Structure 1
Amino acid sequence: MNKLSSKFGRYSLLMHFIFWFLILSQFLRISFFLWQYSEVSWNIIDLLRTLLTGLFFDFGTVAFISICSVLYYTVMPNKWVGSFLDKILIYFFTSLTVFILVFTFFAELTFWDEFKTRFNFIAVDYLIYTHEVVANIQQSYPLPVLIGGVLLLTFVFLFIFYKRGAFTTTFSSKANLKTRLSVLLSTIGIALFFGFFITNNQAEWSQNRYNSEISKSGIYSFFAAFRNNQMKYVDFYTSIPNDKAFGIIRKKLTSPNSVYSRNDYSIHRKITDRIPSLENKNVVFVLVESLSGSFLKEFGNKENITPFLDSLAQKSIFFENLYATGTRTVRGMEAVTLCIPPTPGQSIVKRPDNQNLYTVCSVFKSRKYDCNFFYGGDGYFDNMNAYFGGNGFNIYDRGRGSVLSDEIKTVRNNINDNEVTFENAWGICDEDIFNKMLKVADSQYKTGKPFFNFVMTTSNHRPFTYPSGKIDIPSGTSRKGAVKYTDFALKELFRKAQTKPWFKNTVFVIIADHCASSAGKDEIDVANYHIPAFIVNFPEKQNQKIAQQCSQIDLWPTLFSLFHWNYQSDFFGKNVLDSQFEQRALMGTYRKLVLMKKDKVMILSDQKKQAFYSWNKEDNSLKSLPIDQSFLQETISWYQTADFLFTNKLLQ
Structure 2
Amino acid sequence: MFKRIQLSGRFTLLLYFIFWFLIVSQLLRICFFIWQYSEVSLNIINVLRTLLTGLFFDIGAVTFISLPAVLYYVVLPNKLVGSWLDKILIWFFTSLTIVILVFTFFAELTFWEEFKTRFNFIAVDYLIYTHEVISNIDQSYPLPLLIGGVLLITFAVLFLFYKRLAFTRTFTQKASLKQRAIVLLTALIMALGYIAFITNNQAEWSANRYNSEISKNGVYAFFAAFRNNQMKYDEFYTSIKNDDAFAIIKNKLKSPNSKYTSDGSCIHRTITDSLPSQEKKNVVFILVESLSGSFMKEFGNQENITPFLDSLAQKSVFFENLYATGTRTVRGMEAVTLCIPPTPGQSIVKRPENANLYTVNSIFKAKNYDCNFFYGGDGYFDNMNSYFGGNGFNIYDRGRGSVLSDKIKTTRNNIDDSEVTFENAWGICDEDIFNKMLTVADKQYKNKQPFFNFVMTTSNHRPYTYPDEKIDIPSGSSRQGAVKYTDFAIRELFKKAKSKPWFKNTVFVIIADHCASSAGKDEIDVANYHIPAFIVNLPENSNQKIAKQCSQIDLFPTLFSLMHWNYQSDFFGKSVLNRQFEERSLMGTYRKLVLMKKEKVMILSDQKKQAFYIWNKKDNSLKAIPIDKTFLDETISWYQTADYLFTNKLLK
1:195-594 equivalent positions in 2, closer than 5 A: 195-400=195-400, 404-594=404-594
Deviations 1:55-81 (A, max 9, x none): 000111100001100001111111111
Closer, same or farther: CA 69–35 of 1 in aligned 2, 3 Å: same
The structural deviation recorded for 1:5 is 9.7
Distance 1:188 1:484 in 2: 55
Distance 2:353 2:49 in 1: 43
The structural deviation recorded for 1:4 is 9.0
Indicate conservation of the 8 Å contact 2:345/2:591, yes or no.
yes
* Counterpart position of 1:34: 34
Task: Using structure 1 for the length normalisation, give the TM-score.
Answer: 0.99
Distance 1:360 1:536 in 2: 18
Distance 1:272 1:97 in 2: 63
* Counterpart position of 2:636: 636
The structural deviation recorded for 1:555 is 0.2
One-letter code of the match for 1:95?
A: S
Task: Using structure 2 for the length normalisation, give the TM-score.
Answer: 0.99
Closer, same or farther: CA 403–56 of 1 in aligned 2, 3 Å: closer
One-letter code of the match for 1:143?
A: L
The structural deviation recorded for 1:404 is 1.7
SS of 2:225's equivalent in the other structure is helix
SS of 1:458's equivalent in the other structure is coil
Deviations 1:300-349 (A, max 9, x none): 00000000000000010000000000000000000000000000000000
Indicate conservation of the 8 Å contact 1:5/1:166, yes or no.
no
The number of residue pairs the alignment matches comes to 650
Indicate conservation of the 8 Å contact 2:380/2:402, yes or no.
no
SS of 1:349's equivalent in the other structure is helix
Distance 1:402 1:118 in 2: 31
Deviations 1:466-520 (A, max 9, x none): 0000000000000000000000000000000000000000000000000000000
SS of 2:283's equivalent in the other structure is strand
Runs of 4+ in 1 over 6 A off after TM superposition: 3-6
One-letter code of the match for 1:633?
A: D
The structural deviation recorded for 1:578 is 1.0
* Counterpart position of 2:91: 91
1:17 aligns with 2:17: yes
The structural deviation recorded for 1:539 is 1.3
The structural deviation recorded for 1:7 is 3.1
Deviations 1:402-433 (A, max 9, x none): 96221001000000000000000000000000
Distance 2:402 2:334 in 1: 25
One-letter code of the match for 2:329?
A: T
1:58 aligns with 2:58: yes
Indicate conservation of the 8 Å contact 1:594/1:635, yes or no.
yes
Indicate conservation of the 8 Å contact 1:401/1:413, yes or no.
no
Indicate conservation of the 8 Å contact 1:6/1:169, yes or no.
no
SS of 1:613's equivalent in the other structure is strand
Indicate conservation of the 8 Å contact 1:5/1:164, yes or no.
no
Distance 1:97 1:135 in 2: 24
Distance 1:553 1:542 in 2: 20
* Counterpart position of 2:116: 116
Distance 1:326 1:257 in 2: 29
Deviations 1:343-398 (A, max 9, x none): 00000000000000000000000100000000000000000000000000000000
The structural deviation recorded for 1:554 is 0.1
Distance 2:370 2:7 in 1: 75
Distance 2:116 2:288 in 1: 22
SS of 2:8's equivalent in the other structure is helix
SS of 1:196's equivalent in the other structure is helix
* Counterpart position of 1:181: 181
Closer, same or farther: CA 302–14 of 1 in aligned 2, 3 Å: same
Structure 1 vs Structure 2: percent identity of aligned residues? Answer: 80
Distance 1:445 1:351 in 2: 35
Indicate conservation of the 8 Å contact 1:324/1:531, yes or no.
yes
Of 400-409 and 278-287, the range deviating more from structure 2: 400-409
One-letter code of the match for 1:222?
A: F
Distance 2:90 2:8 in 1: 16
The structural deviation recorded for 1:401 is 5.7
Indicate conservation of the 8 Å contact 1:5/1:165, yes or no.
no
Indicate conservation of the 8 Å contact 1:557/1:574, yes or no.
yes
Unaligned runs of 5+ in 1: none
CA RMSD of aligned residues (A): 1.0
One-letter code of the match for 2:69?
A: S
Deviations 1:173-218 (A, max 9, x none): 1110010011001001101100111000000000000000000000
Deviations 1:100-139 (A, max 9, x none): 0000000000000000000000000000000000000000
Indicate conservation of the 8 Å contact 2:426/2:458, yes or no.
yes
Indicate conservation of the 8 Å contact 1:291/1:532, yes or no.
yes
Of 405-414 and 394-403, the range deviating more from structure 2: 394-403
SS of 1:91's equivalent in the other structure is helix
Distance 1:205 1:199 in 2: 12
Closer, same or farther: CA 555–507 of 1 in aligned 2, 3 Å: same
One-letter code of the match for 2:624?
A: S
Distance 2:488 2:419 in 1: 19
Deviations 1:427-468 (A, max 9, x none): 000000000000000000011111000000000000000000
Indicate conservation of the 8 Å contact 1:403/1:410, yes or no.
no
SS of 1:275's equivalent in the other structure is coil
SS of 2:601's equivalent in the other structure is strand
The structural deviation recorded for 1:8 is 2.2
Distance 1:325 1:152 in 2: 43
The structural deviation recorded for 1:540 is 1.3
Unaligned runs of 5+ in 2: none
SS of 2:452's equivalent in the other structure is strand
Distance 1:41 1:400 in 2: 47
SS of 1:25's equivalent in the other structure is helix
Deviations 1:600-652 (A, max 9, x none): 00000000000000000000000000000000000000000000000000000
